[in-house]
Amino acid sequence: MSQEGTERKGKGTVFVRAEVCKGCSYCIDFCPTHALDFGRDYNQKGYHFPVLAREEDCTGCDMCGLMCPDFAIFGVRWKDLDARAAANVSTTVQP
């Protein structure tokens, strides 16, 4: 379960900085599980940006982030996100 109380799908997720994306489609083309697709919305530059169209297929491998020339997207595995959150909580708790 995620922190919002909804069930997580797949092994990971992606984060998209839509305002930076120029719609090159490298992330979509190189996604090994074909989990990404262009969204219907446009960013401020007038480009379609990617969305996680098939959440259950995402592995969080970050191939999308590795291929993006503008660092507009990155993938993260749920287990890594949970570990970061736990580490952050443990370092911010004061005695």
**What tokens appear for 32 in the block?**
């090994």
Query: CA–CA separation, 19 vs 44, rounded Å?
Result: 6
Average pLDDT over residues 45-69: 97
Average pLDDT over residues 74-92: 86
The domain made up of 12-90 has a fold known as Alpha-Beta Plaits (3.30.70)
> What pLDDT does 6 receive?
62
How do the domains of the chain map onto residue ranges? 12-90
Query: Per residue in 20-52, pLDDT tens?
Result: 999 999 999 999 999 999 999 999 999 999 999
> What pLDDT does 4 receive?
52
**What tokens appear for 79 in the block?**
């287990």
> Looking up tokens 């599980």, which residue turns up?
33
Which residues have a Cβ under 8 Å from the Cβ of 29 and sit 6 or more positions away?
A: 67
> What pLDDT does 88 receive?
82
